[in-house]
Amino acid sequence: MSRWLFLSLCCLCLLAISAAPPARSATASPLGGACATDRDCQTDLSCTYVEGVMSGQCSASCNASASCQERFGDESVCLGADICARTCDGHGDCPDGDVCNLYGWCEAAP
């Protein structure tokens, strides 16, 4: 009986380990960084695709610019699509692969 209990517990442990989200790499992209999947972004960020707004950039949801700035600093803003974006004055303020758009936030280069 104890063997079956041990095997059952081992199976449960393996299921729990396999259900855990994969670790993010130390080089994962920050807010505004280019991405293809959520794993490409730093923890608590997701790879965001919103038609006409953001295409393949790491972001987080928001309801006001204050919530973005609380999490990411003054160089962030909450867009009307309820996603945080990295603000910029020029291309040098954006992560690699991004450009500073006319509205003052970083977007994926075309």
Helix, strand, coil tally for the chain in percent (to 5): 30, 25, 45
The predicted-structure confidence for 32-79, as pLDDT tens digits, reads as follows: 998 999 999 999 999 999 988 898 999 999 999 999 999 999 999 999
Q: Comparing 5 with 94, which gets the higher pLDDT?
A: 94
pLDDT for res 21: 53
* Residue 13, pLDDT above cutoff 80: no
The predicted-structure confidence for 69-92, as pLDDT tens digits, reads as follows: 999 999 999 999 999 999 999 989
Domain limits, the chain: 30-108
What pTM does this model have?
0.73
- Complete DSSP assignment for 32-56: T-B-SSGGGB-TT-EEEEETTTEEE
* Residue 97, pLDDT above cutoff 90: no
